Amino acid sequence: MAADESKESGQDKRGIWSRRDFFTRLGWGGFGIFTGFSLLGFIRSAFPRVLFQPPVTFKAGFPSDYAVGEVSDKYKQEQRVWIVREETGIYAVFAKCTHLGCTPRWQASENKFKCPCHGSGFFKTGLNFEGPAPRPLDRFKIGVGEDGQLVVDKSKVYKMNAGVEPDEQFPDSILKV
């Protein structure tokens, strides 16, 4: 009887949980946390993140706002467009290098666009003349709205071919003013 009593008293001294109970509860707890995060991820996937992009058309002011021979970078930051006015008319140049997609800079002192990434150079018309750019800068459709302001439509892109002056490739890319 003394042996039975010592056995029972030995079982009482081991604590409230055995090692097996602890690892079982730890396993179920980990499974519960994993299931909870999986359920949270599934619910989150029902509400996708939305990327808000600027509208494809925008108003660029009146034609009289642009001087002949001027390259306006007013919309370069928010719309990635330069508005160029020459004696032949007004056109909108896409401010994206045709080499790797960097944003060139207008250098008024040299009268050219210069890409800071790999040194491509473009004339005011967008024609490439130096560097690795394979073709001229693209243009967007430009027109006049009902209120007399210039409207640039970025959904209509004039993709220029290499070696040909952009004014000759797409005469409708220039708005005659």
Strand order in the sheet with 121-122: 105-107, 112-114, 121-122, 128-130
Computed over every residue of the chain, the mean pLDDT equals 84
For the chain, the structural domain boundaries read: 2-45, 57-173
pLDDT in tens, 106-165: 888 888 889 888 888 888 888 888 888 888 888 899 888 888 888 989 888 888 888 778
Domain 57-173 of CATH type 3.40.190.10: no
Residue linked to tokens 């390259």: 71
The amino acid that residue 172 corresponds to is: D
136: Cβ contacts below 8 Å, ≥ 6 apart: 98, 122, 125, 126, 127, 128, 160, 161, 162, 164, 166
Show the tokens assigned to 167. Answer: 């004014």
Q: What integer pLDDT is reported at residue 41 of this predicted model? A: 92
82 forms bridges with which residues in the sheet? 93
Residue 177 has pLDDT above 80, yes or no: no
Check residue 65 and report its DSSP letter: G
Beta strand ranges found along the chain (DSSP E): 57-59, 71-72, 81-86, 89-94, 105-107, 112-114, 121-122, 128-130, 139-144, 150-158
- Residue 162 has a pLDDT of 82
Tell me, what's the pLDDT at 31?
96
- DSSP character string of 1-12: -HHHHHHHHHHH
The predicted-structure confidence for 7-66, as pLDDT tens digits, reads as follows 555 455 567 878 888 899 999 999 999 999 999 999 998 888 887 776 888 888 888 888
Q: Which residue has the tokens 């919309």?
A: 75
Alpha helix segments (H runs only) across the chain = 2-13, 19-45, 166-169
pLDDT given at position 24: 92
